[in-house]
Copies of this chain bind each other. A is one copy, B any other.
Amino acid sequence: MSLSMSAASVPAITQMLAALSAILDKAASHAEARGIDPAELINARLAPDMLPLVRQVTMASDHAKGMVARLSGRDIPKFDDTESTFEELKERIAKTLAFVKSVPAIAIDGSEERDISLKLTSGRTLTFTGQSYLIQFALPNFYFHVTTAYDILRHKGLEIGKRDFMGPQP
Contact = CB atoms under 8 A, between A and B. Distances in A.
Interface residues of A, number: 40
Contact of A143 (B47, B143, B169): B143
A106 interface: no
Interface stretch (A25-33, A97-105, A130-138): A130-138
Q: How many copies does the complex hold?
A: 2
B3 A154 contact: no
Contacts of A126: 169
Given A2-B4, A113-B1, A155-B155, A170 B47 contact: no
A76 interface: no
Interface of A: 1-5, 7-8, 11-12, 15-16, 46-47, 50, 112-113, 126, 128, 131-132, 135-137, 139-141, 143-144, 147-148, 150-151, 154-155, 157, 162, 165-166, 169-170
9 residue pairs, one from A and one from B, having the closest CB atoms: A143-B143, A147-B147, A46-B155, A132-B170, A151-B151, A47-B154, A3-B3, A2-B2, A136-B170
